Structure 1
């Protein structure tokens, strides 16, 4: 090939390369359009770990799109009250919500199954069922009827059983007890004589202080310490058998989510899973020192008695039987959870349980 022919062909190739570059830019821009969403949280900013789950989600999405996809997070009460976050997303008032689905169980008990119900799975089991057992798809079949799409966006781990102004040793001690307890668990507690109260997090302390309520559950040591419950209700019971592994959801308006580019939909799912893992890790890190501080400040740790736990378990099963008979969607999802629950705890009691128990005994012996 002579020099003149080479230059001519190279020039044509160069023009073609430049054209390809020019053509590629609009395609890239089209795949990453500028989008601004608003997200309503069910939590106050002061609860930085659970509220922070939405901020983590927003940060991951923004960073992955060079700031093209922005999700502005609003705390409970800034746009709508915390317990209306999912409703706002469904209505299109905002495009997204960060909330716990059992807050809405009064509309349909199926809502509770996406988060936590009594004596179900712990956080690790819940994630296994959701990500690999079809739980996300099953719950989204239901959420679609509500105008929503949802993905796990956080987990607190097994929660504490709550703060009590007096000791609770038997089922008889629970008769007439006015307790702030959210969602589905309140229906079970009613069978034990408790009078459940639905009170937002920010109103719990004054209600306990004034004696308007006798007990309250919230989350666990780190969050509970921030709300100061130990100052007015010294007895801290465990475990929160109604919340073995409560999932916090990121929920999106269905039409808004389906209108996103496929790349953005995939990114949202990935960012939700990352935020989901991050929240549980944060609680595992922050709860131990918080528990130590609570005890140092006079908190009295108490386990629920075997009598109370067994009565609660039996009451839960009675409620489930009623709901399965009345609600086919509830039965479908609950059957799926139950089928995995048996296998999960069969496996968990072998290596995990024995290893953890041995290490706990070493801790008690002061060897760790």
Structure 2
């Protein structure tokens, strides 16, 4: 909160709501000999950010050799996560790491950010879809229509599982459960009686302790242990509604365009480094903590019952596809990709 208060004073945020101006941020490019300064806020709290972004930002600041410095802020530290897009658009902050869904990005494809139900089975599906199956070009097209923001890169995070106080062993056990999750995932899960709850990220642990929440569907088991949620839940459901969270990096378009090409290249390399780190950190953690973790008991919903959830997801896909021509293109790619993976067989798909 101290950081946020200091930031608000310096940026003059309180005057913006009334004035509607975009005069908050100091120019990112300073006088000759002084470094370019950026403020980047991630969706992740401090403990999680040590893995999902901080190593790459530390590397960037070191490699920039005094030409540029990125100040990293954690979830809701300067701006509430749901307001990140607008804050970046008006130049209050310079860059964001999050999913499109959580930051309320004003593009039709934002619904596919975060956990779009069953869009992926493994984390490698996300970079494959963006870099080789056409999603990158669609995201560039969508964000190219929005003034002031540059979409930079997408990558994969962990799968989406339930961590709960009470055991989940059937779909009936989900009914009435108050669950912290992402907007689109929550909308889908209401079909099975789940009650989605939106809270600041840092409040989740306390909300589980006070009974405000019954569970969390925001991550895999690696994050449950890393951020402390495994200490306030008892069970981990092995069924998941997505194989990987899809998140992106964004920047204020003016700030990005001001960068010299070599610093743009360096930032691109550091984003790739971040994407790669998460691939092996999550992949190793998910298996290790399921088999060696001692805090959470594993439960499962039978495959034949869970198949009804997967079937419902395809209906959900078609509903999203009907909302725009561009969404329809994304859903078409997802269907074609998953059909190709199933046809390819092992190791891409196991039935």
TM-score range, shorter chain: 0.7 to 0.9
Could you tell me whether the CA contact under 8 Å between 1:53 and 1:153 is conserved in 2? Answer: no
Secondary structure of the structure 2 residue equivalent to 1:123: coil
User: C-alpha separation between the residues in 1 aligned to 2:69 and 2:299?
Assistant: 45
Could you tell me whether the CA contact under 8 Å between 1:86 and 1:99 is conserved in 2? Answer: no
Offset at residue 229 of structure 1 (A): 3.2
The 1:321–1:303 alpha-carbon spacing in structure 2 relative to 1, beyond 3 Å, is same
Are 2:121 and 1:132 equivalent residues in the alignment?
no
Greater fraction helix: 1
Q: Which residue of 2 aligns with 1:332?
A: 329
User: C-alpha separation between the residues in 2 aligned to 1:312 and 1:333?
Assistant: 21
Offset at residue 169 of structure 1 (A): 2.8
Could you tell me whether the CA contact under 8 Å between 1:144 and 1:254 is conserved in 2? Answer: no
Deviates more, 1:325-334 or 1:178-187: 325-334
User: C-alpha separation between the residues in 2 aligned to 1:111 and 1:73?
Assistant: 24
Q: Aligned pair count?
A: 319
1:1-368 to 2 correspondences below 5 Å: 34-49=35-50, 52-104=51-103, 110-121=109-120, 122-146=122-146, 147-152=148-153, 154-159=155-160, 161-241=161-241, 243-292=242-291, 294=293, 296-297=294-295, 299-347=296-344, 349-351=345-347
| Structure index of larger Rg | 1
Deviation digits for residues 18-68 of structure 1 (CA, Å, limit 9, x no counterpart): xxxxxxxxxxxxxx994221101112212244xx43323323333433231
User: C-alpha separation between the residues in 2 aligned to 1:157 and 1:216?
Assistant: 14
Could you tell me whether the CA contact under 8 Å between 1:106 and 1:183 is conserved in 2? Answer: no
RMSD: 2.8
Could you tell me whether the CA contact under 8 Å between 1:104 and 1:112 is conserved in 2? Answer: no
Offset at residue 352 of structure 1 (A): 5.3
Deviates more, 1:98-107 or 1:255-264: 98-107
Deviation digits for residues 88-129 of structure 1 (CA, Å, limit 9, x no counterpart): 222211110111222145855521324441111221111111
User: C-alpha separation between the residues in 1 aligned to 2:285 and 2:320?
Assistant: 37
User: C-alpha separation between the residues in 2 aligned to 1:153 and 1:108?
Assistant: 15
User: C-alpha separation between the residues in 2 aligned to 1:66 and 1:230?
Assistant: 40
Could you tell me whether the CA contact under 8 Å between 1:157 and 1:245 is conserved in 2? Answer: yes
Offset at residue 189 of structure 1 (A): 0.9
Offset at residue 271 of structure 1 (A): 2.0
Could you list the runs of 5+ residues in structure 1 that have no partner in the other structure?
1-31, 358-368
User: C-alpha separation between the residues in 2 aligned to 1:292 and 1:188?
Assistant: 29
Could you list the runs of 5+ residues in structure 2 that have no partner in the other structure?
1-32
Could you tell me whether the CA contact under 8 Å between 2:127 and 2:156 is conserved in 1? Answer: no
User: C-alpha separation between the residues in 1 aligned to 2:336 and 2:312?
Assistant: 20
**TM-score calculated relative to the size of structure 2:** 0.80
Deviation digits for residues 126-147 of structure 1 (CA, Å, limit 9, x no counterpart): 1111122222221122123333
User: C-alpha separation between the residues in 2 aligned to 1:64 and 1:233?
Assistant: 41
Deviation digits for residues 249-301 of structure 1 (CA, Å, limit 9, x no counterpart): 1111122212322333233222211211112222234444444553x23x210
Secondary structure of the structure 2 residue equivalent to 1:240: strand
